[in-house]
Amino acid sequence: MRAWKLALAGPSVFWFFPVFFVILSSGTSADPPGLLGLIIALIVSASWGFLLNDFFDRLSDAKSGRADALHGHGLSKSTMIIMILLTAGLSWVIVFLIGGGSAFKMVLAFNYLVAILYSVPPAKLKVRRFWGFLANSLIERPLPILVLLSYMGYYTVLTIVLPVLAELTWSVFKHQVADMKEDADAKVTTFAVYLGEALSDRVVRSFLNPLSVASLLALVFIGWLGVPSLRPLLDLVFVATLAGVVLFYLAELGGRVKLYLTPTDPPYIIFLNVAYRFLLLPVMAYGVISFRPTYDLLVVLLIVTLSYQAYGYASLMRRRVNPPK
C-alpha cells in the first residue's frame, strides 16, 4: 500500500489545474461540496483501479519477483476482493449522493469500463501493446478530468485540450519504460516492451520529455489567457519554469547534475514536475482563495495532497542521494 502514496498523488494532482482553471475562468456554479466529494470519489476509484490491477497481476508479479507488500501482494486474495468491492461501492455511493447530470456519470462509468478492460482477462489490454498504452493513458488523467469537467458543466474546446495536455505533461508511456525490465521478466508485453529498450528510451528522451515541457508551458499560457487577474503571477511561473528547465538541462549536459528519480526522469523533468506542483498549482490555489472562496476546501485537499507527495519525493530523493548500505 505504501507504493500508492506517489501513485495516487501523481495522477490526482493533475486534476487540480483544470478544476481551478474552470472555477476561475468560467464562473461555474458547480456545488463546492459536491465537487470536493467527486474528487475524493475519483481518488477512491484510483485505489480501486490499483487494487484490481494488482489482483490480476499476482501470478505474473510473483514470477518476476515483484510479488511483495509494495505491490499489494502482502494481502490475501480474499482481502483484496473485499477491498476492490468496498472501494468501488464507496466511490459510487459518493457519486450518487452528490447528484449532478447523467453525462458525468456516463464518463465515470466509461472510465471504470476502460480500467476493467485494462486489467481483467480475457481482454486485459495491459498486455496488448498499443491498446494497453492507450487505455492506461486514458484512465489516469484524461478521463477523470473529463468526469470533473462534465460535473461542472464545462463544455468548450478546452474540455478536450486540458485532459490531453495533462496527459502529455506526464505520459504513462514513461512509466512503462521505467518498468520495462520487470514487465519483460513477467512476460507482460506492454507497448514499451514491444518497442524494445532502445526505441522506447529514444522516444522518451527525444520526444516525450521535451513534449512535457511544451505541454506544461501551454497549460500556464491557457491559465494566463483565461484568468487575467493572475497574469503577473503566471508570468513569473512561465519564466521561472522555462529558465529552470533550461538550467537543469544544461547542468546535466555539463555533468554537474546527475540525479534521476526514475530512469525516465532526468534533472530537468524533475524540476518541471516540481514547478507544476509547487509554482503553478499554488498560484491557481491563491486565485481560488482570493476570488472564489466558496471552493476553499478544494485548496485544503490540494495542500494535503502536495504535502503527502512532497514527503514521498523527499524520501525517494534522499535514498537516491544517500543509498542505504
Cβ atoms of 22 and 153 closer than 8 Å: no
Is residue 71 within 8 Å of residue 3, measured between CB atoms? yes
Say how far apart CA 248 and CA 317 lie, in whole Å.
16
Residue 141 belongs to what domain range? 4-314
Rounded Cα gap, residues 34 and 147, in angstroms: 13
> Model pTM?
0.88
**Per-residue pLDDT averaged across 139-159, rounded?**
93
Average pLDDT value for residue range 270-278: 93
**Cβ 95 vs Cβ 41: under 8 Å:** yes
Cell 520529455 belongs to 209
Domains: count for the chain: 1
Asked whether 240 and 272 are in contact (CB, 8 A), the reply is: no
User: Mean pLDDT of all residues in the chain?
Assistant: 87
pLDDT value at residue 5: 57
Q: Tell me the CATH number at 50.
A: 1.10.600
The answer to whether residue 324 sits within a structural domain is: no
Nearest to 40 by CA among 82, 8, 83, 72: 8
With cut-offs at 50, 70 and 90, classify the pLDDT of residue 146.
Answer: very high
Task: Give the per-residue pLDDT at 180.
Answer: 84
**Confidence at residue 49, expressed as pLDDT on a 0 to 100 scale:** 87
Task: Report whether pLDDT(257) > 80.
Answer: no
In a domain, 325, yes or no: no
Closest CA to 141 of 275, 26, 7: 7
Is 322 within the bounds of a domain? Answer: no
Name the residue type at position 176: Q
pLDDT (mean) for 256-280: 87
Residue 248 lies in a domain: yes
- Contacts of residues 201-205 at CB distance under 8 Å and 24 or more positions apart, as own/partner, are 201/177, 203/173, 203/177, 204/173, 204/174, 204/177, 204/264, 205/266
Position 98 in a domain: yes
Asked if residues 15 and 35 have their Cβ atoms less than 8 Å apart, the reply is: no
* pLDDT tens sequence across 201-220: 999 999 999 999 999 999 99
In a domain, 182, yes or no: yes
Q: Cα(7)–Cα(122) distance, rounded to whole angstroms?
A: 25
What secondary structure letter does DSSP report for 208? I
Section 174-196 average pLDDT:
83
Domain presence at residue 319: no
CB of 54 within 8 A of CB of 73?
yes
Residue appearing with cell numbers 498560484: 283
In a domain, 294, yes or no: yes
Give the pLDDT score at 1. 54
